[in-house]
């Protein structure tokens, strides 16, 4: 019976805490306003980049330490990367300081609005302003229309957004710019004032917009850039303490644009005006000092590739066996070796760590699912990975030649990967150099026993009688 009052007190405390949190959140929304907002949307590729500049002003009486970004629920699922920075200084002395961005939730969000929280370096006092620079990447946000085209037709796509920036704050003034690949724009929604000059559409400026204002727009334009999407990529990085790093990459590549209809003609494809939305070349940017490069598919080796190397990087230009049109797929394998001393180091605590690049080496591609496997030497212990963004991690065991207990494999998985994810990551582990002698001793033992067995066989008489 005594547990009931304590439980009631706990529920009361939780209720008060949640009420205070809601009150603090609502007060911070009322204290902030956007003095000026400028958004630039680049739809020249199938990877959409949005640059957002916000001048935030604290009109309340208490300091504010965070700023909320709002997105419609249909757009949040396509956000591959979101970064924010605060500008310090002016003109030539201007610098950018990265800020932490985390997804968050608000109760009673209108129409299922989703939020991201930007944590400021220093709380914004009453009357102060701060300029924030935001970059977010959208994938699979262009809708081909018509959905099917012939070999001779150009590719037209839809882009849907809002002329007015969705925000939980009152906005004094805002402007949106949309940059298209060319001047061939079939149609676009007008929300006055709307102007068009060359390849750029300008919506605004709009003044004195209340929170959560929204005005949908639809832009129909030509976009023949390669819609290269890697549906699945499995990268395996195998560490050998004998001096090499072997990388093997398995690709399932698809053209995610308007589906091809009709019959493919190789003769017509040689013309400049045929198959403008298809692609037959891909560029893989590899680390410098690569060796033993190979490129093949299920049939065998593919010789239509070009390798260019220098002291900074290596460019591998590959060409699939056939050009890719909308809806077509290709599977292939790329492998290469690297010198171990360029990527494996020793930390101050005595542990070893691999410093390698996450992401996909193919330029201007989206990876729907990326699985990166780091195969550690046999005998490695206590592995841990440090990645600058959220990934799923787990461990596996792989058996190779002359392995006894197997090799530990650190598996990193991430969906919706874009070129902005090509950043360094580290895998730490402990390793005793004695384990390097295991395989040589095993081979020596096998040859020794074979030698002794041969000697014994030659000295044994198996005859029945003398």
What pLDDT does residue 82 have? 95
Q: Are 207 and 307 in contact (CB under 8 A)?
A: no
pLDDT at position 28 over 70 = no
pLDDT at position 421 over 90 = yes
What pLDDT does residue 330 have? 92
What pLDDT does residue 273 have? 65
pLDDT at position 178 over 90 = yes
Tell me the pLDDT band of 265, cut-offs 50, 70 and 90.
confident
Helix (H) or strand (E) holding 268: helix 266-269
The residue that leads in pLDDT, 358 or 312, is: 358
The residue that leads in pLDDT, 177 or 455, is: 177
Query: Rounded to an integer, what is the distance from CA 120 to the centroid of its chain?
Result: 24
Tell me the pLDDT band of 14, cut-offs 50, 70 and 90.
very low
329 phi, psi to nearest 5 deg: -130, 160
Q: Are 256 and 140 in contact (CB under 8 A)?
A: yes
Digit-coded pLDDT (tens) for 230-243: 999 999 999 988 88
Residue 449: how many CB atoms within 10 A of its CB?
10
Question: For the residues 130-146, what does the mean pLDDT come to?
Answer: 94
Tell me the pLDDT band of 22, cut-offs 50, 70 and 90.
very low
CA–CA separation, 415 vs 369, rounded Å? 4
What pLDDT does residue 435 have? 58
Question: For the residues 341-369, what does the mean pLDDT come to?
Answer: 93
SS3 of 386, please?
A: strand
CA–CA separation, 50 vs 134, rounded Å? 8
pLDDT at position 29 over 80 = no
pLDDT at position 55 over 80 = yes
Digit-coded pLDDT (tens) for 280-315: 889 999 999 999 999 998 888 887 788 888 888 899
What pLDDT does residue 272 have? 63
118 phi, psi to nearest 5 deg: -100, 120
What pLDDT does residue 68 have? 94
Digit-coded pLDDT (tens) for 304-348: 788 888 888 899 998 888 889 999 999 999 999 999 999 999 999
What pLDDT does residue 262 have? 82
**Percentages of the chain per state (helix, strand, coil), in multiples of 5:** 15, 50, 35
Question: For the residues 117-124, what does the mean pLDDT come to?
Answer: 92
- Could you tell me the CATH superfamily of domain 228-440? tricorn interacting facor f3 domain (2.60.40.1730)
Least confident among 7-11, 247-251, 398-402: 7-11
Digit-coded pLDDT (tens) for 195-211: 999 999 999 899 999 99
Tell me the pLDDT band of 67, cut-offs 50, 70 and 90.
very high
Residue extents of the structural domains in the chain: 29-222, 228-440
SS3 of 316, please?
A: strand
Same fold? 29-222, 228-440: yes
Cis peptide before 151 (omega within 30 of 0): no
pLDDT at position 275 over 70 = yes
pLDDT at position 353 over 50 = yes
pLDDT at position 129 over 50 = yes
Q: Are 239 and 354 in contact (CB under 8 A)?
A: yes
176 phi, psi to nearest 5 deg: -125, 130
Q: Are 187 and 93 in contact (CB under 8 A)?
A: no
Domain boundaries 29-222, corresponding CATH code: 2.60.40.3680
Tell me the pLDDT band of 378, cut-offs 50, 70 and 90.
confident
Tell me the pLDDT band of 9, cut-offs 50, 70 and 90.
low
How many percent of the chain have pLDDT more than 90?
A: 59
Q: Are 240 and 209 in contact (CB under 8 A)?
A: no
pLDDT at position 17 over 70 = no
What pLDDT does residue 404 have? 64
**pTM for the structure as a whole:** 0.84
Pseudo-torsion of CA 303, 304, 310, 313, nearest 10°?
Answer: -100
Tell me the pLDDT band of 6, cut-offs 50, 70 and 90.
low
Structure tokens at 376: 């550690």
pLDDT at position 175 over 90 = yes
Question: For the residues 171-180, what does the mean pLDDT come to?
Answer: 96
């Amino acid at each position: 019976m005594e547990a009931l009052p304590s439980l009631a007190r706990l529920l009361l405390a939780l209720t008060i805490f949640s009420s205070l949190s809601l009150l603090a959140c609502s007060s911070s929304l009322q204290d902030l306003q956007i003095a000026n907002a400028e958004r630039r949307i680049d739809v020249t590729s199938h990877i959409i980049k949005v640059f957002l500049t916000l001048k935030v002003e604290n009109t309340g009486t208490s300091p504010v330490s965070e700023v909320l970004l709002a997105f419609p629920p249909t757009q949040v699922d396509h956000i591959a990367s979101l970064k924010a920075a605060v500008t310090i200084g002016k003109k030539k002395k201007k610098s950018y300081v990265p800020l932490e961005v985390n997804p968050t939730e608000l109760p009673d969000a209108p129409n299922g609005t989703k939020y991201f929280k930007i944590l400021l370096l220093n709380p914004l006092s009453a009357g102060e302003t701060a300029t924030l620079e935001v970059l977010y990447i959208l994938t699979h946000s262009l809708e081909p229309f018509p959905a099917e085209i012939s070999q001779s037709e150009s590719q037209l796509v839809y882009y849907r957004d809002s002329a007015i920036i969705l925000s939980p704050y009152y906005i004094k003034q805002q402007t949106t710019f949309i940059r298209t690949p060319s001047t061939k724009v079939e149609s676009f929604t007008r929300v006055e004032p709307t102007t068009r000059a060359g390849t750029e559409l300008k919506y605004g400026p709009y003044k004195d917009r209340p929170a959560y204002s929204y005005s949908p727009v639809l832009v129909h334009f030509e976009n023949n850039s390669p819609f290269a999407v890697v549906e699945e990529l499995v990268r395996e990085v195998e560490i050998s303490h004998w001096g090499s790093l072997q990388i093997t990459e398995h690709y399932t590549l698809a053209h995610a644009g308007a589906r091809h209809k009709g019959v493919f003609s190789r003769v017509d494809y040689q013309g400049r005006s045929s198959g403008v939305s298809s692609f037959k070349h891909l560029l893989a940017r590899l680390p410098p000092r690569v060796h033993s490069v190979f490129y093949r598919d299920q049939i065998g080796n593919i010789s239509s590739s070009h390798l260019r190397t220098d002291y900074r990087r290596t460019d591998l230009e590959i060409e699939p066996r056939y050009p890719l049109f909308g809806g077509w797929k290709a599977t292939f394998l790329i492998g290469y070796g690297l010198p171990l001393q360029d990527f494996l180091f020793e930390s101050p605590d005595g542990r070893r760590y691999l410093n390698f690049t996450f992401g996909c080496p193919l330029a201007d591609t989206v990876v729907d699912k990326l699985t990166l496997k780091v195969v550690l030497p046999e005998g490695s212990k206590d592995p841990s990975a440090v990645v600058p963004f959220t990934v799923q991690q787990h461990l596996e065991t792989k058996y190779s030649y002359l392995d006894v207990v197997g090799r530990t494999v650190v598996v990193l998985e991430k969906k919706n990967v874009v070129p902005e994810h090509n950043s360094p990551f580290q895998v730490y582990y402990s390793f005793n150099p004695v384990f390097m002698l295991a395989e040589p001793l095993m081979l020596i033992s096998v040859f020794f026993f074979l030698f002794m067995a041969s000697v014994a066989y030659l000295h044994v008489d198996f005859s029945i009688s003398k």
